[in-house]
Amino acid sequence: MDPRHDREILAVFVAEAREYLRQIGGADPEEARRAIHGIKGAAGMMGLDALYRVISEHERRHDAGDRSAAASLVEAIRLFLEELVQERESFPPGDLEELDRYFETESSEHLQAIGRAIGELGAGGDPSAAEELRRALHTLKGAADAVGRTEIAQAAHAMEDVAEVMSPSSIERLAEALPLLAAIVAGDEESASHLKELRALAGPARDSVLPPPAGTAAEKAIERRRQDRRRDPEGIIRVETRTVDGLIDGVGELSLLGQRLGRRASAMRRTARDVAASRRAVAEALRAIGPARPWGPPAAALTSLAEVAAELSATAAALDAQSDALAVDEETARRVSHSARADLGRMRMAPAKWLFERVTATIDSEARRMGRTVIVESEGTSVEIDRALAERLVDPMVQLARNAVVHGIEDPQSRAEAAKPLAGTMVLGARVVGGDIALLVSDDGRGIDVERIRNRAVELGLVSPQAAVHTPADEILESIFLPGFSTRTSVDEHAGRGVGLDVVRREVERLGGKVQVRTTVGAGTTFEVRFQARLFVLWALLVRVGDQVLALPLYSVREVTPVRPDVDLVPLGPILGLEPDGTGRPFAVHIATARGQNVGLIVDAVDGPVELVTRRMPPLLEGLRPYLGTAITADGRVTLVLDAEAIPGARAPSTVRPRRLRALVVEDSATTRELLGSILRRGGVEVELAADGRQALRRMDERDFDVVVTDLAMPNMDGRTLVQRIRADPRRASVHVVIVTSRANPESAAFATEQGAVLLAKPVSRHRFLEVVKARSTPRGG
C-alpha cells in the first residue's frame, strides 16, 4: 500500500482517539460509554490488539458502574498513542521522506482552510465557517501526530479548545494564534516559544480528567506491552508474516525445481532409449553385412561401425545411470520441499481449535454473568486457518458469541416454559466449503424475530411501511448489521447498546470475508463468517480453452467426459471471454459447487491432475472473478486458478464491448478522495474527483457518470444536498449513489434508503467498496 495511505489511516485513528478521550473523561456516562466502545472498535480495525484488550477490560468495568475506570483508561490510551506515534521512527527512510512530503502539502492546505474560516468568522460571515475551522484543526492535529510532529499537534489542539465555543473574544484569539501556528508548521527555530505563546493565548487546559492511581490494570497492561517488545522469551524467534510468506514462496520454487528435475530425468530416460535403439540398429546392420569381403565395405569401416555401436551402448548405459541419479535427486528435493513447506505452513496456519478456545472463554464468562448455563460444542477443530487471519478474527467471533449468550440463549425459566433443556447449547464450527473456510457460531436459543426487526426498521425510517411488507426476510435481517440498530428501547448492563454487529461486519469485510445470518424463531440462530482459504499447494486439473491454460481445483471436479448431446453443458470460453480453438474433440468437465450446483463446462483439452504452487492474485487483479489466484506449472508457466463457486453465476460477455464504468468520487479529505479513487481505478473503473457537492454538480454537467461516491459532511455543499439534487434531476435518475461516511447512524441509513442509495460505514474494506460500486452500476452509453 502507498505509504500515504498508511499515514492517513494512522492520522484518522489518532485524531479519533483524542476526540474520544475528551468524551470518556466527560460528565455524561452515556457519551463516555459510546466513546469507549468507539475507540475499542477503531483499535480493533487497526489491529492494535493489546490496546483493544485493555479497553475491553475497562468497558466491562464502566458498564458495571465503576466510574473510576474512565480515568485510568484515559491515561492508558494516552500512553499507547505516544508510543504509537514514536514507532514512526522505525519506518524505512524512504517511507519517512514520502510521509513528510505529503504532510507538508496537506498541512499547507489545512492552514489555508483555517485562515479562510477565521477570516469569514471575523467578518461576520457564514456561521458554517466555525465547523470548517474545527474540521481543519482536527485533521491537522491527527496528521501531525501521525508523522511525529507533536508540536504542531499540540498547537492545533490548543486552538481546537478555543474554537469549541465561538465568540468575538475567541475569534480574536484564534486570529492572533494563526501566525504562531503557521510558524510552528513551517519548522521555525522559535517553535518552542511560539507554542508556549499560543498556549497562553488559548488559556488554561480544560482537561478535567484526573491522573489514574498508580499501578492500575491499564498501566500494567501498557507496561507489559512495552516489555514484550524489548525482549523475546528464550527459545522463541519472532518472524514477520511477510518473511514466512517469502520462505513459503521460496520453498514452492524448490518444489517446482524438483518437478522439473523429474521431467528432465524422464527426458533423459527417453534419450537413453533412443540411443539404445540406435545402437541396436547399427548392430543389426553389421550382422546383415557379415564379415569383411573383397567386394564389400572396407574392413576398417566395419570396425569403425562396431566401435560406434559399442560407444552407443556405453552412452545409453551412462544416460540410464544419470537419469536414475536425477530421479533420486528429484525425490529428495520433493521430500525436503514438502517437509519444509509443511513446517512453514504450521508456522503460518493455526487450527480452528486455537480460535475456539478464546471464544469459549468469553461464552463461559458471559453465561456466568447472565446466570445461564451454556454447553459449548466444537466442530472442525482441526481445520487450519491462516494464523494472522485467525488472530484478527478473535474479536468478531467473540462479539458474535457474546451476542448469542446475551440475546439468543434464554434464561432457565424461559427455556423450561418452552420445553427446552435448561442448559443452552452453542456450537462453534469450522468447515472447508470448496475454496472457502466457513466459521459458524450457532445457538439453540429464541432465534431472531424477523417481524420485530421489520417493525423496528420502519420505526427507524430505514424502510417505508409499504416496502417493508414486500421485503424478503433475509433482506430485513440485514438491518441488524446497521450501525446503532437495536430492537431494545432501553439500555441495561448487558444489552441494548446498539453497537457491535456493524463492527463485526466491517472487520470481517476488511479481512476479505463476509458475514451471513440464518435464524428460526424458537429454534436458534447461526452466524456464518466465510473467507477464502489460504492454499499454498493445490491439486488441480489443467484445462485449455483456445491457447489459454487454466487450473481448476480438483476438489470441485466430479468427472471428465467427452461431450455428449444428452447432457446440458456450458462453454467455458464465452464465460471468460476466450475463443475456443474448434479443433479436436472437446471435453466436458463436470464441477460441483458448495451451494449444491452441478455444472458441465466445455473445454478444448484437459491435463492432470497436477500439483501447483499457488499465490494470491496481484493487487491490480484482486477481486477479478471468477479467479481464486495464480499458480506456477512445472514448466514455469503462470496460470490463473478458477473459482468453481463463481463460474455458475458468470455469463458470457456481450459481443459489443461496453465502455468502462465511470465514477465520480466526492470527498473533502484529499487523502480519502485519492484513496477511494485509487481503489476504483485498480478495479477497472474510470474515475474523476471532486472536493464538495458544488464541484460534483459542475463535473456532472460536463459529462455523464454511472455512479457517484460521496461523503455526507462536506463544505460548500454537503453530501445530503448533492444526493437530493441528483435525485431531483430526471437526467440522472439512473445514477447509482454510494454514500461512504463515518456517520453511519440510523438517520443516515434512513436518508440513504429514502434516496435509493447504498450506505457504507468508514472504514470500508476495498473488496466491499468495489463490490457495492459495481453491483448496481451499468455504463450509460458513451
pLDDT for residue 593 is more than 80: no
Distance between CA atoms of 178 and 637, rounded to whole angstroms?
61
- The pLDDT value recorded for residue 566 is 56
Q: Quick one: average pLDDT of 711-728?
A: 88
- Segment 191-201 shows an average pLDDT of 79
* Rounded-to-integer distance, Cα 140 and Cα 111, Å: 8
So what's the pLDDT on residue 50?
67
Decide if 781 is inside a domain: no
User: Do the beta carbons of residue 190 and residue 183 sit within 8 Å?
Assistant: yes
**Residue 208 and residue 67 share a domain:** yes
What are residue 213's phi and psi, to 5 degrees? -65, 150
pLDDT at position 400 over 70: yes
Query: Strand 557-562 and strand 587-592: pairing?
Result: antiparallel
For residues 209 and 659, the model is more confident at 659
Q: Cell numbers for 492, please give them.
A: 441495561
Q: Which of 292-301, 554-563, 634-643, 747-756 has the lowest mean pLDDT?
A: 292-301
Residue 36 shares a structural domain with residue 77: yes
pLDDT of residue 502: 79
Nearest to 117 by CA among 142, 139, 144, 135: 135
What pLDDT is recorded for position 527? Answer: 94
Same domain, residue pair 54 and 181: yes
DSSP 567-604: S--EEHHHHHT------S--EEEEEE-TTS-EEEEEES
Which pLDDT value is given to residue 677? 84
The least confident of 24-33, 322-331, 624-633, 733-742 is 24-33
Q: Which residue has 560407444 as its cell numbers? A: 311
Contact 359, 397 (CB under 8 A): yes
Query: CA 10, 13, 19, 25 torsion: positive or negative?
Result: negative
Strand 758-761 to strand 736-741: parallel, antiparallel, or no bridges (unpaired)? parallel
pLDDT value at position 29? 67
Q: How confident is the model at residue 436 (pLDDT cuts 50, 70, 90)?
A: confident
Domain assignment present for 574: yes
Question: 737 with 618, same domain?
Answer: no
Residues 407-417 have a mean pLDDT of 89
Q: Among residues 613, 642, 671, which one ends one of the domains?
A: 642
State the angle between helix axes of 501-510 and 29-46 in degrees (0 to 180), rounded to the nearest 10: 20
Q: Is 216 a residue whose pLDDT tops 60? A: no
SS3 state at 294: coil
Q: Which residue has the higher pLDDT, 459 or 285?
A: 459
Please, which pLDDT band fits residue 148 given cuts at 50, 70 and 90? low
The CA distance from 630 to 612, in Å, is: 9
DSSP state of 495: S
Structure confidence at residue 748 (pLDDT): 84
Give the pLDDT band (50/70/90) at residue 654.
very low
Q: What is the mean pLDDT of residues 10-29?
A: 66
Distances (CA, A) of 776 to 646, 748, 782: 18, 20, 18
Same-domain pairing of 401 and 432: yes
CA-CA distances (angstroms) from residue 159 to 143, 173, 352, 759?
15, 9, 50, 33
Helix (H/G/I), strand (E/B), else coil: 437: strand
Domain extent for 441: 351-527
Q: What percent of the chain has pLDDT over 90?
A: 6
56 CB-near residues (< 8 Å, 6+ apart): 40
Round the average pLDDT of the chain to a whole number and report it: 74
Residue 746 placed within a domain: yes
Does residue 680 belong to any structural domain of this protein? yes
Residues 143, 146, 151, 157: is their CA dihedral positive or negative? positive
Residue-level pLDDT at 497: 35
Angstrom distance (rounded) from CA 685 to CA 699: 17
pLDDT for residue 20: 67
Distance CA 413, CA 459 (A): 31
CA angle 690, 695, 698 (to 5 degrees): 120
Residue after which a domain boundary falls, among 349, 374, 400: 349
Is pLDDT of 206 > 70? Answer: no
Of the listed ranges 156-165, 418-427, 485-494, the least confidently predicted one is 485-494
If one counts every other C-beta atom within 10 angstroms of the C-beta of residue 116, the result is: 16
Distance CA(409)–CA(376), nearest Å, equals 12
Residues 386 and 491 in one domain: yes
Tell me, what CATH number does 709's domain have?
Answer: 3.40.50.2300
Find the helix or strand (DSSP H, E) in which 5 lies.
helix 3-24
Residues 131 and 31 in one domain: yes
Tell me: the pLDDT tens digits for 685-699? 888 999 899 999 988
Res 528: pLDDT = 93
The pLDDT of residue 9 is: 54
Q: Domain tally for the chain?
A: 5
Task: Specify if 507 maps to a domain.
Answer: yes
| Enclosing H/E stretch for 551 | strand 548-553
Contact 573, 545 (CB under 8 A): yes
Secondary structure element (H or E) that encloses residue 379, with its range: strand 374-379
φ, ψ for residue 735 (rounded to 5)? -70, 130
57 belongs to a structural domain: yes
- Looking at the predicted structure, is the pLDDT value of residue 514 above 80? yes
Is 6 within 8 Å of 102 (Cβ atoms)? no
Residue 259 sits in the same domain as residue 246:
yes
Nearest to 538 by CA among 559, 556, 512, 558: 556
Burial category of 484 from C-beta neighbours within 10 Å (exposed 0-12, middle 13-18, buried 19 and up): middle
Task: Please give the pLDDT value at position 536.
Answer: 64
- Give bridge partners of residue 590 from the DSSP assignment: 559, 600
Return the percentage of the chain with pLDDT > 70, whole number: 68
User: How far is it, in rounded angstroms, from Cα 59 to Cα 32?
Assistant: 10
Q: Tell me the whole-structure pTM to 2 decimals.
A: 0.46
- Asked whether the beta carbons of 595 and 613 are under 8 A apart, the reply is no
CB count within 10 Å of CB 97 equals 12
| Residue 721 pLDDT grade (very low, low, confident, very high; cuts 50, 70, 90) | very high
Instruction: Say how far residue 692 (Cα) sits from the centre of its chain.
Output: 28
609 and 744, same structural domain? no
- Residues 374 and 519 occupy one common structural domain: yes
How many C-beta atoms lie closer than 10 Å to residue 532's C-beta? 18
C-alpha cell at 585: 474433440
Same domain, 674 and 749: yes
Q: Where are the alpha helices (DSSP H) in 123-203?
A: 128-146, 150-163, 168-185, 191-202
Q: The dihedral of CA 435, 441, 444, 448: what is its sign?
A: negative
Higher pLDDT, 730 or 210: 730
Most confident among 28-42, 90-104, 766-780 (mean pLDDT):
766-780
Higher pLDDT, 147 or 321: 321
| pLDDT for the residue numbered 407 | 87
- On whether residue 656 sits in a domain, the answer given is no
Q: 663 forms bridges with which residues in the sheet? A: 687, 707
316 and 367: one domain?
no
Residue 234 lies in a domain: no
The answer, yes or no, to whether residue 708 has pLDDT greater than 90, is yes
Contact 633, 255 (CB under 8 A): no
In 372-515, which ranges are continuous DSSP H helix? 387-403, 412-417, 450-459, 465-470, 473-477, 501-510
Q: Is the pLDDT of residue 780 over 80?
A: no
Give the pLDDT confidence score for residue 545 in this predicted structure. 86
Q: Give the per-residue pLDDT at 246.
A: 72
Last residue in a domain, options 349, 379, 403: 349
3-state helix, strand, coil in the chain (%, to 5): 55, 15, 30
